[in-house]
Amino acid sequence: MRVLPGPLLADRTTLRLGGKAMVEIVVQGEADMDELAGSLDERTTRLGGMPMILGAGSNILAADHELGLVLIRLHGGGEPSLAQQDAGRDTLLIRVPAGLRLPRLLGWCCTRGAKGLEPWAGIPGTVGGAVAMNAGSYGLEMADVLERVLIWTPGLGCVWRKAVDLGFGYRWFDSGLDELVQLVLAVELRLDRDEPDAVRTRMRQFYGRKRQSQPVTMASAGCVFKNPSSEYPAGKLLEQVGMRGYRRGNMAFSEQHANFLVNLGGGTSSDAFALLDMAQERVERRFGLELKTEVRVIA
Ligand X SMILES: Cc1cc2nc3c(=O)[nH]c(=O)nc-3n(C[C@H](O)[C@H](O)[C@H](O)COP(=O)(O)OP(=O)(O)OC[C@H]3O[C@@H](n4cnc5c(N)ncnc54)[C@H](O)[C@@H]3O)c2cc1C
The 8 Å CB, 24+ separation contacts for 230-234 are 232/287, 232/289, 233/259, 234/258, 234/259, 234/291
Instruction: Report the Cα 266 to chain-centroid distance in Å.
Output: 23
> Catalytic site residue 171?
yes
Catalytic residue among 101, 148, 171, 202: 171
> Catalytic site residue 200?
no
**Rg (the chain; Cα; Å):** 20
Residues 199-218 that bind ligand X (CB under 6 A): 216
- Whether the CB-CB separation of 206 and 122 falls below 8 Å is answered with yes
**Which uninterrupted H or E stretch holds 46?**
helix 33-46
Query: Comparing C-alpha atoms, which of 62, 69, 75, 61 is closest to residue 21?
Result: 69
> How far is 19 from 97, CA to CA, in rounded Å?
28
> Catalytic site residue 239?
no
Among 78, 80, 97, 129, binds ligand X (CB under 6 A): 129
Residues 74-93 that bind ligand X (CB under 6 A): 74
Catalytic residue among 118, 147, 188, 294: 294
Kindly state whether residue 29 participates in binding ligand X, applying the rule CB under 6 A: no
Listing DSSP states for 141-159 in one string gives EHHHHEEEEEEEETTTEEE
Kindly state whether residue 49 participates in binding ligand X, applying the rule CB under 6 A: no
Q: Which stretch binds ligand X (CB under 6 A): 63-71, 157-165, 177-185, 195-203?
A: 177-185
Closer of 137 and 280 to ligand X (Cβ)? 137
Kindly state whether residue 116 participates in binding ligand X, applying the rule CB under 6 A: no
Kindly state whether residue 227 participates in binding ligand X, applying the rule CB under 6 A: no
Q: How far is the CB of 218 from ligand X (least distance, A)?
A: 8
Kindly state whether residue 126 participates in binding ligand X, applying the rule CB under 6 A: yes
Among 36, 96, 166, 183, binds ligand X (CB under 6 A): 183
How far CA 126 is from CA of 88, 178, 235, in Å, comes to 27, 23, 25
Give residues in contact with ligand X (CB under 6 A): 14, 52-60, 74, 98, 122-126, 128-130, 132-133, 135-137, 182-184, 216, 220-222, 296
